């Protein structure tokens, strides 16, 4: 069964950090670009960051630039999202997704992605 599994979410205070992981099972992520998305209550899902298959290209939404870092370890078949200086507005369910596409600012169209994880909850609150 081909699937992506996110982990690492939780409750953190404002200003804190979390690292999300996106692990693949049943297939290799080596040739896929990966995107992280999030959906807050009552809002549409939005793209947060994406990374090319070789890790050489990355993109970030303006709302997370300078605070979040995307990376990947193809040997572990895993992609990470390091989230620092978290704010209450970062509270959302975070999803990872895999697809074949060039990474640029327009790489968040959901039609580009073939596989999606089930999401992990991130709550930023004091």
What percent of the chain lies above the pLDDT cut of 70?
A: 100
Res 2 pLDDT > 90: no
pLDDT digits (tens, 9 = 90+) for 68-99: 999 999 999 999 999 999 999 999 999 999 99
The residue assigned the tokens 């992981």 is 21
pLDDT at 106 over 90: no
């Amino acid at each position: 069964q081909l699937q992506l599994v996110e982990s690492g979410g939780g409750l953190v205070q404002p200003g804190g950090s979390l690292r999300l992981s996106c692990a693949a099972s049943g297939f290799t992520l080596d040739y896929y670009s990966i995107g992280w998305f999030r959906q807050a209550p009552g809002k549409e899902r939005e793209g947060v960051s994406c990374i090319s298959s070789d890790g050489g290209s990355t993109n970030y939404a303006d709302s997370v630039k300078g605070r979040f870092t995307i990376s990947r370890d193809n040997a572990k078949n895993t992609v990470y999202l390091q989230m620092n200086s978290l704010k209450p507005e970062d509270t959302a369910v975070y999803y990872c997704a895999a697809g074949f596409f060039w990474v640029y600012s327009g790489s968040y169209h959901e039609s580009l992605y073939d596989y999606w994880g089930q999401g992990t909850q991130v709550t930023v609150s004091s």
